[in-house]
Chain A
């Protein structure tokens, strides 16, 4: 069965650089969520999209932005990277925002040096 695809799987950046993470949801899933998991921490919700519109916002820094495109894939753009942004970034998708489960991708590990 098709799963959530995230790219790249690993990314190394310098401080103050920018990064773009991509997420390709499971076919026919119209909702995408982004989570950030710091080392040894629980995942924290960043932002979500439903039908290409932002549906909810969590603890996403102003330096980050995201969008969902017409083909439902999503991109998380991160600027002015800081050391503290080093984390595992998960994307999840679900078919609708009503009583359905979220399917997680394998994550992108971002390291900021």
Chain B
């Protein structure tokens, strides 16, 4: 079946450190891939997305590239800030027909210390 595996947290970094959160997926066909962020006590916000192989999604300094050959969509940021502290979810989705629901990874909690 379709699934998403992401690195377990929590991840604790100092401000301005480099961030990588690994995400790999298992799927038939060519899903769209997403990173969602959940701040404490809030809902899910779309951070970035990629809909086909080699696409790079980017937003607010975060980037992720859709790698079909390694079935990966790792999230990176060059310099994290305290305000980036949140839970990050990698997700995949098929669109079309009757499908369209998101399948999430377990989430990775990021804590950034000043």
Q: By the criterion CB–CB under 8 Å, are A33 and B100 in contact?
A: yes
Q: By the criterion CB–CB under 8 Å, are B102 and A100 in contact?
A: no
Given contacts A104-B44, A104-B45, A106-B42, contact A43 B51 (CB under 8 A): no
Q: By the criterion CB–CB under 8 Å, are B46 and A103 in contact?
A: yes
Interface residues on A, range: 20 to 34
Q: By the criterion CB–CB under 8 Å, are A98 and B44 in contact?
A: no
Which residues on A are within 8 Å of B, measured CB to CB?
Answer: 31, 33, 35, 41-45, 48, 50, 55-56, 58, 90, 92, 94, 97-107
- Main secondary structure, interface of B, reads strand
Q: Mark B79-109, 1 if CB is under 8 A from A, else 0.
A: 0000000000100010111111111111100
A94, B43: Cα distance in complex, Å: 16
A100, B32: Cα distance in complex, Å: 9
Q: By the criterion CB–CB under 8 Å, are A97 and B107 in contact?
A: no
Q: Mark B45-88, 1 if CB is under 8 A from A, else 0.
A: 11001010000000000000000000000000000000000000
For this complex, 24 residue pairs linking A to B, each with C-beta atoms less than 8 Å apart, are A31-B100, A33-B100, A35-B102, A42-B105, A42-B107, A43-B44, A43-B102, A48-B100, A50-B100, A55-B100, A56-B98, A92-B102, A97-B96, A98-B96, A99-B32, A99-B51, A99-B96, A100-B95, A101-B49, A103-B46, A104-B43, A104-B46, A106-B43, A107-B43
Taking CB atoms and an 8 Å cut-off, the chain B residues in 1-60 that contact chain A are 32, 34, 36, 42-46, 49, 51
